[in-house]
Amino acid sequence: MRPRRREVAKQLLTRRWVLTTIVVLAGVALCIRLGIWQFDRLAWRREFNQRVESQIQAAPLDLNQQFDVAGLFNMEYRSVQVVGTYDFSQEVLLRNQIYDNHLGVHVFTPLKIAGSDVAILVERGWIPVEEAGLPAREKFNEPGQVTVNGRLRRPLDQPEVVGGATNPTLAPGQSRIDGWSYINIDQIQTQISLKLAPMYLQQSPDPAWTQMPYRELKLPEISEGPHMGYALQWFTFATILGGGYPFFVRKQLRSAKS
């Protein structure tokens, strides 16, 4: 090895440069991993978009006809119609819901499907928090046989937001919970005697329905989001960091020599 190369190698093997090189390599690896993660997110988003679009465009499903209860879980956002009777004694509420800048709750009522031994939880809409308790909210009941149009929605296994409020648990001597932080059908099923479908039904707004509960139906945004751009950014950072580091080292060694 030439003297000049020996000198460079000796400098690069000092504690300072070894640690710096390790940090740079770790930074490059992290940027590449984040880029790959964004590509994974993009693939998930494309699969989600395809699934949602296929269900939105599918013909409405009549829940009073024969249907596979377990198969409903793969039909989120499918338009459905169902005839049945509400059981208001087993109604539950989704807490902390805002409508027109007012705090309230969303009312979820089991609908016993006519001609079936299955019920489906129906999100009937928003009411103000001051009228959420009994007997005040009884004026929002819809007695008798009703026809409900809406879209299937998946329940949640945990809060939608990391660190969000968890669902309450039964206290000693308590037989049921009215207010929930998110809709978890498995948990709600433990206090409802009716056999619930694995999905709930978000009722569609009707121009003829001008009273409470107020109904909204928001479909998810069908887009790929920023994942491709973020992935390219992370790979660019990896290229700049990894490709620029040798030039940085060379410049520092020259400066030290002079």
pTM of the model: 0.77
pLDDT tens for residues 203-217? 999 988 889 999 998
Is pLDDT of 186 > 90?
A: yes
- Shared domain for 196 and 110, answered yes or no, is yes
Q: Is residue 56 part of a domain?
A: no
Is there a single domain that holds both residue 25 and residue 84? no
Interval 78-99 mean pLDDT: 95
Q: Are 152 and 241 found together in one domain?
A: no
Q: Would residue 231 count as lying in a domain?
A: yes
Spatial CA neighbour of 89 closest among 106, 117, 105, 112: 112
21 is a domain residue = yes
Other C-beta atoms closer than 10 Å to the C-beta of 3 total 7
188 pLDDT higher than 90: yes
Do the Cβ atoms of 199 and 78 come closer than 8 Å? no
d(CA 237, CA 233): 6
Statement to judge: residues 188 and 229 lie in one domain: no
Same domain, 104 and 191: yes
Q: 167 pLDDT exceeds 90?
A: no
Lowest-confidence region among 10-24, 72-86, 154-168, 230-244: 10-24
Q: Do 189 and 86 fall into the same domain?
A: yes
Distance CA 8, CA 25 (A): 20
- For residue 62, give the H/E element and its range: strand 61-62
Share above pLDDT 70 across residues of the chain, in percent, rounded to a whole number: 90
Q: Which structural domain range is residue 180 located in?
A: 78-203
- Look at residues 144, 63, 136, 77 and name the one whose alpha carbon lies nearest to residue 104: 136
Please check whether residues 159 and 103 belong to one and the same domain.
Answer: yes
Average the pLDDT over 46-65 and give the result.
Answer: 90
pLDDT digits (tens, 9 = 90+) for 28-47: 999 999 999 999 999 988 98
Per-residue pLDDT band for 17 (boundaries 50, 70, 90) equals low
Q: In this structure, is residue 118 part of a structural domain?
A: yes
For residue 218, is it within any domain? no
Considering the domain architecture, whether residues 195 and 236 belong to the same structural domain is answered as no
Rounded to an integer, what distance in angstroms lies between the CA atom of residue 105 and that of residue 100? 13
Indicate whether 1 pLDDT > 50.
Answer: no
| Same domain for 9 and 103 | no
Strands annotated E in 87-194: 92-99, 102-113, 118-128, 145-153, 179-180
Of the chain, the percentage scoring pLDDT greater than 90 comes to 57
Domain identity same for 87 and 184: yes
Distances (CA, A) of 44 to 41, 77, 157, 218, 227: 5, 17, 19, 21, 10
Burial class (CB in 10 A: 0-12, 13-18, 19+), 86: buried
Do residues 7 and 108 share a domain? no
Q: Based on the domain organization, do 43 and 92 belong to the same domain?
A: no
Residue 142 pLDDT exceeds 60: yes
Is 68 inside a domain boundary? Answer: no
Count: domains in the chain: 2
Residue 11 has pLDDT above 70, yes or no: no
Please give the Cα distance from 124 to 202 (Å, whole number).
Answer: 7
- Whether 20 is covered by a domain: the verdict is yes
- The top-scoring range by mean pLDDT among 10-19, 78-87, 151-160 is 78-87
Q: What is the mean pLDDT of residues 111-128?
A: 95
Written as six digits, the tokens of 159 are 């809060």
The reply to whether 214 falls in a domain is: no
Cα-Cα-Cα-Cα torsion 68, 74, 78, 81, nearest 10 degrees, comes to 20
Asked which of 11-20, 82-91, 121-130, 144-153 is least confident by mean pLDDT, the reply is 11-20
Mean pLDDT of the chain: 87
Q: Inform me whether the pLDDT recorded for 252 exceeds 80.
A: no
94-115: pLDDT as tens digits: 999 999 999 999 999 999 999 8
